[in-house]
């Protein structure tokens, strides 16, 4: 079970989890604290197309949700800010 499941999920916890996923599971050479809230995943952080697929999978696993194809769009996966808002809305509706 994920550690996020044991703590209340708020935007800050979700952002921390996203940063951890990107820094530790996507083979990018970046520290979690260096990923800014509005740093573009593709333009600044360097996430490629395969990385976005892995990010989607890791978010589904970490937060226990399913991200539909219709929701797997750049507007939802732009940066930590947009992705955390999307995930928080999905978790609230869950």
pLDDT digits 0-9 by tens, 21-32: 999 999 899 999
pLDDT digits 0-9 by tens, 50-75: 999 999 999 999 999 999 999 999 99
pLDDT at 3 > cutoff 50: no
H runs (alpha helix) in the chain: 11-25, 49-63, 80-93
Q: Give the separation between CA 63 and CA 47, rounded to whole angstroms.
A: 20
The answer to whether residues 12 and 4 touch, using CB atoms and an 8 Å cutoff, is no
pTM above 0.85, yes or no: yes
The pair of three-digit structure tokens given for residue 45, joined into one six-digit string: 């952080």
Could you tell me the residue ranges of all domains in the chain? 8-93
CATH of domain 8-93: 1.10.1200.10
């Amino acid at each position: 079970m994920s550690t996020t499941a044991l703590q209340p999920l708020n935007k800050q916890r979700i952002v921390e989890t996203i940063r951890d996923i990107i820094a530790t599971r996507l083979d990018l050479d970046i520290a979690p604290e260096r990923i800014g809230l509005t740093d573009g995943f593709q333009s600044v952080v360097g996430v490629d197309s395969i990385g976005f697929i892995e990010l989607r999978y890791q978010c589904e696993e970490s937060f226990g949700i399913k991200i539909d194809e219709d929701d797997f769009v750049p507007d939802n996966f732009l940066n930590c800010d947009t992705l955390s808002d999307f995930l928080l809305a999905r978790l609230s509706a869950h």
